[in-house]
Structure 1
Amino acid sequence: MWIRTASKDDINAIHDLLIETWHATLDDIIGREEINRKIAHDYTPDLLKKMLSRPASEYVVADDGDTLHGVAYAAQGAVKGDSEIALVLHLCVKPESQGQGIGQRLLIELEEAFPAARKIRVALNKKDERTQKFFEEQGYKHLGKTTENKSNDDVVLEKTLF
């Protein structure tokens, strides 16, 4: 399994992976319709392609040469009022590939990609206990409500990088 920078050629596979993974992990939590709405609004192939060229961002994938097994994306400066925080916008591993350390390797790659960032942060659905546990095991701590945590359905976790 290789961790590498995503390219435009990966966009359709990334899109498919996000749909598959979010439905498998979040349908029971927030509902299939809400996931479909979020993907159609925030994660179209065109928007994913734009993310590739966003300044101060990192888009990585885990692949075995044939198939993408995971994807992660973070951007520094995405937290209003604090340009020294990198924000993880998505980290997904295909359901059948979970539990093999792929998510941890992707997250490490993101954490190392922002040498000027003091912290890295993620907002998660408060009902998604499995993903919260994953981030807690990687050293992330729960924060109180923050400006980007406008939904009562989110919790915010953060890790100090240095």
Structure 2
Amino acid sequence: MFFVRTATDRDVEPLRSLLTQSFHATYDRFYGPAKVAELVAAWHSSAEIKRRIQVKGGEYLVADDGKRIGGMAFAAMSEKLAKTAILHQLYVHPDHQRQGVGRDLFAEIETCFPDAEILRLEVEPQNAGAIAFYEAHGFAEVDRTTNCGGPDSGIEALILEKPLR
């Protein structure tokens, strides 16, 4: 059984391993292993994970069973959009998917931003499983981008939002 808690600096390397495995399992079929390895190196380095754990106004959660981390979620208040929290990441280790880990992480993360009226995220348009998960949790498509994850990434994504009030 996994319990959701706030991540600490001790979690950096297990998180890096989880994100590497989850990213390859999710995105290799869309972008190829080489591109995914490039994204992992840029977005999931130890320094980047540590930075996100320490983001002011952010919440970095892990699902922990005492032996391993089975999933993670990271969200923070938007610097550009009023009263909007951005769910930057929600990943579950491939061995623990469809066991309620993502649901538990999501249930906790959506309560972490009492001043937010909207929760927003970006998702790969071909990732039907993730889209179905988010739609089942009240999200709807509001826009699209060609720069998922940052400026000039060239990665397409759907932008989904959920009202929090």
Task: Provide the TM-score with structure 2 as the length reference.
Answer: 0.91
Deviations 1:39-93 (A, max 9, x none): 1112210111011111110000001100100000001024x2x131111111000
| Partner SS state of residue 96, structure 1 | helix
In 2, Cα distance between equivalents of 1:14 and 1:148: 24
Question: Residue type of the partner of 1:102?
Answer: V
In structure 1, stretches of 5+ residues that fail to align are none
Counterpart position of 2:105: 106
Question: Residue type of the partner of 1:10?
Answer: D
Report how many residues are paired: 160
Q: Once superposed, what is the RMSD of the aligned Cα atoms?
A: 1.7
Query: Out of 147, 151, 155, which is 2:158 matched to?
Result: 155
> Residues 84 and 117 of structure 1 are in contact (CA less than 8 Å); yes or no, is this contact kept in structure 2?
yes
| Partner SS state of residue 58, structure 1 | strand
Question: Residue type of the partner of 1:39?
Answer: V
Describe the shift of the 1:6–1:152 C-alpha distance in structure 2 as closer, same or farther (beyond 3 A): closer
Question: Residue type of the partner of 1:32?
Answer: P
In 2, Cα distance between equivalents of 1:65 and 1:156: 34
> Residues 12 and 49 of structure 2 are in contact (CA less than 8 Å); yes or no, is this contact kept in structure 1?
yes
| Partner SS state of residue 63, structure 2 | strand
In 2, Cα distance between equivalents of 1:105 and 1:41: 27
Alpha-carbon offset, residue 120 of structure 1:
0.5
Counterpart position of 2:15: 14
Describe the shift of the 1:118–1:5 C-alpha distance in structure 2 as closer, same or farther (beyond 3 A): same
Deviations 1:83-131 (A, max 9, x none): 3111111100011101111101101111000000011011011111111
Q: Which moved more, 1:121-130 or 1:8-17?
A: 121-130
In 2, Cα distance between equivalents of 1:72 and 1:108: 10
Identity of aligned residues (%): 31
In 2, Cα distance between equivalents of 1:16 and 1:94: 9
| Partner SS state of residue 114, structure 1 | coil
Counterpart position of 1:4: 5
Please give the residue correspondences for 1:118-133 in structure 2 after superposition, counting only pairs within 5 Å.
118-133=117-132
> Residues 71 and 93 of structure 1 are in contact (CA less than 8 Å); yes or no, is this contact kept in structure 2?
yes
> Residues 77 and 85 of structure 1 are in contact (CA less than 8 Å); yes or no, is this contact kept in structure 2?
yes
Describe the shift of the 1:116–1:148 C-alpha distance in structure 2 as closer, same or farther (beyond 3 A): farther
Counterpart position of 2:44: 43
In 2, Cα distance between equivalents of 1:85 and 1:33: 33
Runs of 4+ in 1 over 3 A off after TM superposition: 145-152
